[in-house]
């Protein structure tokens, strides 16, 4: 079997830089991406505080972010293909900009969840419309490079939005204060009532809303008609039909089925890193990060522990995405895949037992690297072992497994963490001891159980995958 390959070492970025329309699309994605992660860095600690440190409440954010794709994925492609992709993006940006403002003055978890849910629905249409617009803006030979640059932009905006959030908000506040000091009548009328929000900790909400409006303006300035001429009607498949066909195809594919089951079990346990892990960081980790805590930016991150974790996870993902492809031609893909699962599960156990910030930082970086390893190795394994005309079914099944496993992790593991925490607190109080002074917390115990599930997934994969078999190194490396 051969695969069509784009040699990224020969990638041409100069034509993309000179392409004015693509530059505007790139700027739109970059600006809105930074704003998005500014709000994520705000919402996770806000929800944790409002809920009294409930892992279930943090999991609720992930649930409402996953649900739209489960409910609407069968319909999104049809609508995106029916309408002009550029107009779809503009409408989604404007809708997200307005919805974001709903987070300014609320402390209700229900309102926060509702706003995030509808924003994710808009994003579900925005992203495929953006990807489908790229071929209208660049030459056929530049599409793969443009898609790669688009993915890199997503990672960069995540890092900047999280890591530089303090500096961005400080600069925004300085500008707002300077404008307010000018005491212009129209400024006082417009901005006066909003000053507490513009100068407070929720200024990130305003910036995020502004970023979506700027993104819409960039897309509006792109002159292109991006609606397929052959689209004449709606052909919506039944909900779950594609998924059922995908799993029916995998019924006789033992090794591919083993790969998906391993992914499902690993994510079921690993998903607790977002819900229970962030609560563990806030409540149980102390100290600093040697050497790095001398840097002002790192000190700001440590002051916001959940953001601190997400930054190092993102950094590990970027590092892994750059490093792992160099290993795929030297190490069997199955061994690379299983190694990522084992390291992730073992690292989670160490993370659960530790009370030091620097251990949390190291684990977050390693976890991000492992996530990149699993993604690269798993996807490449499918590419080199499945015929081109059948890959879509396998990737459809894999996408469904990832979404459902993460959803189950949020629904099952996070409430388990709260129940365990409540049980431990009740036992400790009965002994006349303050629960906050007890080392063994519900978050620690839940993370230990989750790490056991991840390591169990690795054992299952070891039994099901032919990890000792080395693929043709040249073919794998080229893919």
Question: 14-220 with 241-478: one CATH topology?
Answer: yes
Q: Which of 128, 132, 126, 127 is nearest to 227 (CA)?
A: 132
Measured distance CA(278)–CA(294) in Å, rounded:
23
Which CA distances in Å does 457 have to 338, 342, 364?
9, 9, 20
Residue 5: the pLDDT is: 38
Measured distance CA(132)–CA(144) in Å, rounded:
12
Measured distance CA(167)–CA(297) in Å, rounded:
8
pLDDT in tens, the chain (479 residues): 333 334 443 445 677 778 888 888 888 888 888 877 777 777 877 787 888 777 778 778 878 888 887 777 666 766 776 778 888 889 999 999 999 888 887 888 889 999 989 988 888 888 778 877 877 887 777 776 777 677 667 767 776 776 666 667 767 777 777 777 766 665 566 555 566 666 666 777 888 888 899 999 999 998 876 665 444 444 444 445 555 655 666 666 777 778 888 888 998 898 888 778 877 887 777 776 666 666 665 665 555 666 677 778 888 887 887 788 777 777 888 888 899 999 999 999 999 998 888 888 899 999 989 988 888 888 777 777 776 666 666 776 777 778 788 888 887 877 887 788 778 778 777 777 766 677 777 788 889 999 999 999 999 988 887 765 544 444 444 44
Residue 291: the pLDDT is: 62
Packed helices 20-50 and 85-100: angle between N→C axes, nearest 10 degrees: 30
Measured distance CA(429)–CA(68) in Å, rounded:
41
Residue 456: the pLDDT is: 94
From 1.20.1250.20, 3.10.20.30, 1.10.3720.10, 2.40.10.10, which CATH number describes the 241-478 domain?
A: 1.20.1250.20
Q: 14-220 is classed in which CATH architecture?
A: Up-down Bundle (1.20)
Q: Which of 128, 140, 43, 137 is nearest to 89 (CA)?
A: 128
Q: Which of 270, 268, 256 is nearest to 313 (CA)?
A: 270
Residue 231: the pLDDT is: 42
Residue 408: the pLDDT is: 83
Measured distance CA(453)–CA(459) in Å, rounded:
10
Residue 356: the pLDDT is: 86
Residue 290: the pLDDT is: 66
Residue 158 and residue 38 in contact, taking contact as beta carbons nearer than 8 Å: no
Q: Which of 85, 336, 393, 123 is nearest to 229 (CA)?
A: 85
What's the whole-model pTM score?
Answer: 0.68
Quickly count: other Cβ atoms within 10 Å of residue 239's Cβ: 13
Q: Is 226 exposed, middle or buried (0-12, 13-18, 19+ CB in 10 A)?
A: buried
The CA-CA-CA angle for residues 331, 333, 335, to 5°, reads 70
Strand partners, 443: none
Residue 363: the pLDDT is: 92
Domain extents in the chain: 14-220, 241-478
């Amino acid at each position: 079997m051969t695969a069509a390959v784009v040699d990224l070492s020969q990638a041409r970025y100069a034509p993309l830089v000179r392409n004015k329309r693509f530059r505007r699309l790139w700027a739109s994605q970059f600006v809105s991406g930074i704003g998005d992660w500014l709000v994520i860095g705000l919402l996770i600690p806000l929800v944790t505080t409002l809920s009294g440190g409930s892992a279930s409440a943090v999991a609720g954010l992930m649930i409402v972010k996953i649900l739209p794709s489960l409910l609407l994925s069968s319909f999104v492609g049809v609508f995106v293909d029916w309408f002009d992709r550029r107009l779809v993006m503009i409408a989604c940006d404007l809708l997200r900009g307005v919805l974001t403002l709903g987070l300014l003055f609320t402390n209700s978890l229900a309102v926060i969840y509702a706003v995030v849910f509808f924003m994710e629905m808009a994003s579900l249409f925005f992203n495929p419309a953006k990807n489908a617009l790229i071929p209208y803006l660049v030459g056929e030979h530049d599409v793969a490079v443009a898609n790669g640059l688009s993915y890199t932009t997503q990672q960069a905006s995540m890092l900047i939005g999280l890591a530089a959030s303090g500096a961005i908000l400080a600069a925004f506040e300085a500008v707002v204060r300077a404008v307010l000091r000018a005491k212009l009548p129209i400024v006082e009328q417009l901005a006066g009532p909003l000053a507490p929000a513009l100068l407070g900790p929720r200024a990130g909400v305003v910036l995020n809303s502004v970023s979506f409006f700027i993104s819409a303006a960039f897309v509006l300035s792109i002159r292109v008609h991006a609606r397929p001429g052959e689209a004449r009607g709606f052909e919506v498949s039944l909900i779950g039909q594609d998924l059922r066909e995908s799993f029916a195809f995998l019924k006789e594919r033992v090794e591919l089925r083993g790969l998906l089951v391993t992914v499902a079990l690993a994510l079921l346990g690993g998903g607790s890193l977002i819900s229970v892990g962030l609560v563990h960081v806030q409540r149980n980790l102390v100290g600093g990060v040697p050497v790095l805590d001398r840097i002002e930016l790192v000190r700001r991150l440590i002051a916001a522990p959940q953001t601190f974790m997400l930054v190092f996870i993102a950094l590990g993902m970027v590092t892994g995405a750059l490093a792992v492809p160099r290993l795929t031609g030297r190490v069997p893909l199955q061994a690379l895949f299983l190694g990522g699962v084992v390291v992730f599960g073992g690292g989670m156990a160490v993370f659960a037992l530790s009370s030091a910030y620097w251990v949390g930082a190291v684990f977050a970086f390693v976890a991000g690297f492992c996530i990149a390893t699993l993604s690269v190795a798993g996807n490449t394994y499918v590419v080199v072992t499945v015929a081109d005309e059948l890959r879509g079914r396998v990737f459809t099944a894999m996408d469904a497994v990832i979404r459902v496993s993460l959803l189950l992790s949020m629904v099952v593991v996070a409430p388990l963490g709260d129940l365990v925490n409540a049980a431990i607190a009740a036992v400790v109080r009965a002994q006349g001891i303050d629960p906050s002074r007890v080392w063994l917390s519900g978050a620690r115990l839940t993370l230990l159980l989750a790490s056991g599930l991840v390591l169990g997934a690795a054992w299952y994969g070891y039994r099901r995958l032919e990890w000792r078999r080395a693929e043709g190194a040249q073919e794998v490396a080229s893919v």
